[in-house]
Amino acid sequence: MSDGGILSAVGTAARIRDGALTCVAAVEAALARVERTEAALRAWVVVDRDRAMAAARDADRVPAHQRGRLHGVPVGIKDIFDVANLPTAAGFGPFADQIATQDSTVVARLRAAGAIILGKTVTTQFAYMDPPPTRNPWSALHTPGGSSSGSGAAVGARVVPVAIGSQTGGSVLRPAAYCGVGGVKPTFGRVSRAGVLPLAWSLDHPGVIARTVADAAVTLQVIAGYDERDPASSRHPVGDLLGPTRSNKAPRFVILDDVVERATDGARRSFERSVGVLADAGATVVRRRFPSGADVAISTHAVVMQAETAAVHRQTIADHPEAYAPRIRAYVETGMLIPAADYILAQRARARLRREAATLLTEGDCLLLPTVSGPAPGTDVTGDPTFQGIFSLLGLPAITVPSALVERLPVGLQIVAAAFDEAGMFGVAAWCENALPSIGAPPLVA
């Protein structure tokens, strides 16, 4: 059907389950939207049309009782995740012909749930901050954010209802917010990184960009859980993530004023208006600050990320220095100069900040703050990652919900929960999603 590409993931799966939509029709609709939007959007590295259609035909033959949670739903995959028979290039020329021989764990679990892999979405080179060719679906003059640029743009433009991204600094929540959709970064270790190119080992989080909170919840439900291929993955039970999205309990929020104060005037005013809407709907709010200060958290993340990125890329940059984009090349070369003592002190600060965040979270259900410091800037940058990077450093689950337009561009609310409390976080996020007014659809959505 013609609207198959603009349904939510939950809606698509439900219509397929009820017989109102076939898997083939859902994938055909997504491919048609690629054709309509890609010249302006430039979100895709590879659109795997033939395999996607073959998978959809196979999916339509699967008996109803064997169908998974995402059966027939077309999904985009950030081009740092291995997809069997496709290259994992990460925006890096020397990797363009390196064909993956097996799926990353995330992709394997999506397939097991019935999802159809539509193709690979654009990433900034090695998931760092060099600007991508991708454009924001709300304005071609603005960045979609990074590094999950293609995933954010493809979901924002309603090409697919769900796409996989990753966050080391702010690379899931920022593009989701800039593109006017939802995005979730789970607890560190909640999702396997097997088959994913690393950027910084102790900060890399696979995540989800999705149309709705329920879409994000069901997708995380599918991809989460321990994986023996990734020793850093957690055995902590995943539990039911979709059920809490139907909760109508008004939450209690802890707002971090030392983070809010760093936003632009327009974004800060928008945030306070959204807080007022939530309070009128029944939420309660307390206002606090990081005891060590937001600046310490941001600086600590910067040291850890740069030192680890330099270590990850030490050999590759020695082999192919000319192929590196300018920002990541400078970042790696400078990162090699960080003393080991500074990295160790940053890890000690990180542990202290984790304790402080845990104490703050005892005062409410979640932390609440702006997702981004302001609306999407121009296309020569990917935007400010500091508002999201704090929680990448701490490994806490975070989700963004679209909240308003500032200068005619989307911004979002960031909701942060205690470690491994994704279920509670989704319940709060769904409540906010229902309480906040819709921001509408971008110009690329007819």
Could you list the active site residues? 78, 147, 171
The encoded tokens of residue 117 equal 């892999």
d(CA 113, CA 219): 9
Closest to 400 measured CA to CA, from 437, 376, 432: 432
* Beta-carbon contacts of residue 330 (< 8 Å; ≥ 6 apart): none
Environment class of residue 344 by beta-carbon count within 10 Å: exposed (0-12), middle (13-18) or buried (19+)?
A: exposed
Closest to 104 measured CA to CA, from 265, 229, 254: 229
Q: What is the dihedral of CA 426, 430, 435, 436, to 10 degrees?
A: 90
Q: How many CA atoms lie within 13 A of 245 on its CB side?
A: 19
Closest to 6 measured CA to CA, from 115, 164, 159, 162: 159
d(CA 91, CA 64): 39
Q: How many CA atoms lie within 13 A of 212 on its CB side?
A: 18
